[in-house]
């Protein structure tokens, strides 16, 4: 599969787009050790299992618990992959299962790489993003997209909360930070930061 999306001397990011609402699934792989982690077991579990096997994935990190991000969780857990989610979003995985909790500011080791967890409530209560230490990469799930925040009309969503999460937590990163969202194309913090007031004015 031609999945390589971004790389440097230390890591590879692989990307697959899966399912009926075109979810982005990412694999972050340490080049030094071959260890890897999958972000959001969204759908099309056969393709994800193939990706996990070929890239050395050891565990799954869920950015949040909405249905479209967790459809492949049962198959991956059955295959032996540990699934991690925040305690606040864990109830959304009650039908598919999970294994461990992710905490705000947790540092996740993937070989020699370090992923920093950033709690960003608003799309859901337990939404979480991941920044890869020493790189410009920020995986934002459904918290931040090109052109605005994620949908807050679902249960557990709150517009004022997601705006605070974006402004206080995500916009703390440099302008050159690459945003890799749960759907759609990459953007940067610098491209999105000037639009904040317009998002607040429109209310979504």
DSSP per residue, 79-96: TT-EEEEETTTGGGGTTT
Report domain extents, the chain: 4-202
> What is the C-alpha separation between 159 and 149, in angstroms, rounded?
8
Distance CA 65, CA 86 (A): 9
Distance CA 129, CA 122 (A): 12
186/76 Cα distance (integer angstroms): 26
- What pLDDT digit, counting tens, does each position of 63-99 carry? 999 999 999 999 999 999 999 999 999 999 999 999 9
State how beta strands 57-61 and 82-86 pair.
parallel
For residue 92, how many other CB atoms are within 10 A of its CB?
A: 23
3-state secondary structure of 144: strand
Percentage of the chain surpassing pLDDT 70?
100
> In residues, how long is the chain?
204
Residue 1 has pLDDT above 90, yes or no: no
Say what the pLDDT of residue 28 is: 98
Model confidence, pTM: 0.98
- CATH of the domain spanning 4-202: 3.60.15.10
Q: What is the mean pLDDT of residues 170-186?
A: 98
pLDDT digits 0-9 by tens, 104-137: 999 999 999 999 999 999 999 999 999 999 999 9
Q: How confident is the model over 29-62, as pLDDT tens digits?
A: 999 999 999 999 999 999 999 999 999 999 999 9
């Amino acid at each position: 599969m031609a999945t390589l999306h971004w790389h440097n001397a230390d890591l590879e990011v692989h990307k697959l787009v899966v399912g009926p609402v075109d979810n982005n699934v990412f694999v972050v792989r340490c080049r030094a050790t071959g260890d890897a982690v999958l972000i959001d077991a969204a759908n099309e579990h056969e393709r994800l299992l193939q990706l996990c096997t070929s890239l050395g994935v050891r565990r799954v990190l869920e950015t949040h618990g909405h249905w479209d991000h967790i459809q492949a969780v049962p198959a991956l857990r059955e295959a032996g992959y540990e699934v991690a989610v925040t305690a606040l979003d864990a109830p959304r995985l009650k039908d598919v299962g999970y294994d461990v909790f992710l905490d705000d500011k947790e540092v996740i080791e993937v070989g020699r790489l370090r992923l920093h967890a950033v709690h960003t409530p608003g799309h859901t209560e337990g939404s979480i993003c991941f920044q890869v230490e020493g790189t410009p990469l920020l995986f934002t799930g459904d918290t931040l997209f090109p052109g605005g925040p994620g949908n807050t009309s679902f249960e557990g969503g709150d517009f004022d909360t997601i705006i605070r999460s974006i402004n206080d937590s995500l916009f703390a990163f440099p302008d050159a930070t690459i945003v890799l969202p749960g759907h759609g194309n990459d953007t940067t913090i610098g491209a999105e930061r000037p639009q904040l007031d317009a998002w607040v004015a429109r209310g979504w």
